[in-house]
């Protein structure tokens, strides 16, 4: 078998975007997208696909800016992608307004007017804010469904004769000189590739990328959200709680709201079947809801939980494996894998230029 020009390990949102962009740039490349489970499964399946024009630091802002533009282009190429816009409101401590506004990639963010505040109360009638907090608005957010987006991208890729997708195949090792690699699978096969991207999300600390990811300071953190069984209307906006790193997202297609909050559990196993929304998670989440929107608390029945890889700097990890310039790690979305996926994938491919 002739070597693949590119093998992408990991069929989540970042891996599928990397394969998609590689085929666009190099249509004659022989590309393989391979996943240990099913395409769009794992962290991508459980993540909340929210895109806001914001970054915690300059690097994340740049990733956000690039990704938003790329998602716009992608929706034109694949019109059936599930992308839905809604207004954005955010509550922040008055002393942090300047810093939070500086994190946005749009200049339109501002303090809400009185009429805009009254509009927000139509969706959040018992919203409580303290005197030392302000309400921000002035831009829109976009949400989608990462697993569906990934499946549609891969379906689009499979229309091309030079692209293959292997599901249920685990890559155990990636070995070889700088100009080529030998990959082995858990089912006993071996094949070669000229270039490799590992986009395995919370499995970066597993083989074949364990050593390099660990040396980069990657840690695995639980990501959790509660489901609020209250049907949203078409006019309901996203509400961000910047001081708590949480948000309430109305998802009309699911007939519920999703309350994403920051779990404090680190170094957990990424297998979803072994994860739970713990009592500590739930109490942490409900404390935030009780403070701002107490009427939502009684409707919190279900939830979702998964893991993501985080770097110490809270920016994605995109770097070649030491001594193997054509073997690139691309991941550690730090809880924003969907939002930043296009830019992460693009940066990974730049290492092959």
The pLDDT tens digits of the residues spanning 50-59 come to 999 999 999 9
Residue 215 has pLDDT above 90, yes or no: yes
Question: Where in the chain are all domains bearing CATH 3.30.9.10?
Answer: 85-140+219-310
Question: Where in the chain are all domains bearing CATH 3.50.50.60?
Answer: 1-82+145-218+311-353
Q: Is 293 left (phi over 0), alpha (psi -120 to 50) or beta?
A: beta
1-82+145-218+311-353 is a CATH 3.50.50.60 domain = yes
Model pTM greater than 0.85?
yes
pLDDT at 179 (0 to 100): 65
Per-residue pLDDT averaged across 276-293, rounded? 96
Residue 287 has pLDDT above 90, yes or no: yes
Residue 13's nearest CA partner among 146, 168, 148 is 146
Q: How far is CA 254 from CA 47, 75, 85, 183, in A?
A: 14, 21, 15, 41
Q: Which tokens belong to 183?
A: 């990959």
pLDDT at 113 (0 to 100): 97
Residue 48 has pLDDT above 70, yes or no: yes
Q: Which tokens belong to 217?
A: 């300071």
CATH fold for domain 85-140+219-310: D-Amino Acid Oxidase; Chain A, domain 2 (3.30.9)
Q: Is 332 left (phi over 0), alpha (psi -120 to 50) or beta?
A: left
Lowest-confidence pick of 15-24, 38-47, 277-286, 295-304? 38-47
Q: Assess contact for 259 and 300: CB atoms under 8 A.
A: yes
Query: How does pLDDT run across 78-115, given as a tens digit for each residue?
Result: 999 999 999 999 999 999 999 999 999 999 999 999 99
Omega before residue 208 within 30° of 0, cis = yes
Share of the chain above pLDDT 70, in %: 99
How far is residue 207's CA from residue 209's CA, in Å, rounded to a whole number? 5
Q: Which tokens belong to 71?
A: 């998602």
Q: Which tokens belong to 290?
A: 């009780």
Q: Assess contact for 185 and 47: CB atoms under 8 A.
A: no
Query: How does pLDDT run across 167-205, given as a tens digit for each residue?
Result: 999 999 999 875 689 999 999 999 999 999 999 999 999
Q: How far is CA 21 from CA 29, 159, 329, 344, in A?
A: 11, 15, 16, 11
Q: Is 14 left (phi over 0), alpha (psi -120 to 50) or beta?
A: alpha
Query: How does pLDDT run across 323-344, given as a tens digit for each residue?
Result: 888 999 999 999 999 999 999 9
Residue 259's nearest CA partner among 275, 281, 278 is 281
Write down the mean pLDDT value for the chain.
95
Q: Cα torsion for 8, 317, 325, 28, to the nearest 10°?
A: 30
pLDDT at 176 (0 to 100): 83
pLDDT at 272 (0 to 100): 80
User: 227: part of which helix (H) or strand (E)?
Assistant: strand 219-228
pLDDT at 273 (0 to 100): 82
Q: Assess contact for 64 and 339: CB atoms under 8 A.
A: yes
């Amino acid at each position: 078998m002739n070597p693949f020009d590119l093998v992408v390990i990991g069929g989540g949102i970042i891996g599928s975007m990397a394969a998609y962009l590689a085929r666009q740039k190099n249509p004659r490349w022989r590309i393989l997208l391979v996943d240990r489970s099913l395409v769009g499964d794992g962290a991508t399946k459980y993540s909340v696909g929210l895109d806001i024009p914001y970054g915690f630091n300059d690097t994340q802002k740049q990733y956000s800016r690039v990704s938003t533009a790329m998602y716009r282009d992608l929706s034109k190429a694949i019109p059936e992608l599930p992308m839905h816009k809604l207004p954005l409101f955010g509550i922040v401590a008055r002393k942090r307004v300047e810093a939070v506004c500086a994190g946005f990639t749009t200049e339109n963010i501002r303090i809400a007017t009185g009429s805009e505040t009254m509009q927000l109360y139509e969706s959040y009638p018992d919203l409580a804010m303290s005197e030392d907090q302000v309400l921000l608005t002035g831009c829109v957010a976009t949400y989608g469904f990462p697993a569906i987006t990934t499946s549609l991208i891969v379906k689009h890729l499979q229309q091309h004769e030079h692209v293959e997708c292997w599901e249920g195949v685990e890559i155990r090792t990636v070995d070889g000189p700088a100009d080529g690699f030998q990959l082995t699978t858990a089912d006993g096969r071996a094949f070669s590739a000229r270039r490799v991207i590992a986009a395995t999300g919370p499995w970066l600390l597993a083989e074949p990328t364990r050593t390099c990811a660990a040396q980069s300071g990657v840690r695995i953190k639980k990501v959790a959200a509660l489901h609020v069984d209250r049907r949203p209307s078409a006019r309901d906006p996203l509400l961000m709680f910047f001081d708590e790193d949480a948000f309430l997202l109305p998802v009309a297609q699911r007939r519920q709201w999703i309350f994403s909050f920051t779990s404090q559990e680190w170094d957990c196993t990424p297998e979803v079947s072994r994860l739970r929304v713990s009592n500590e998670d739930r109490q942490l989440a409900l404390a935030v809801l009780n403070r701002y929107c107490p009427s939502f608390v009684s409707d919190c029945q279900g939830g979702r939980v998964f893991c993501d890889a985080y770097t110490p700097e809270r920016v994605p990890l995109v770097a070649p494996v030491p001594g193997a310039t054509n073997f690139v790690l691309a991941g550690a979305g730090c809880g924003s894998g969907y939002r930043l996926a296009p830019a992460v994938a693009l940066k990974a491919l730049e290492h092959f230029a």
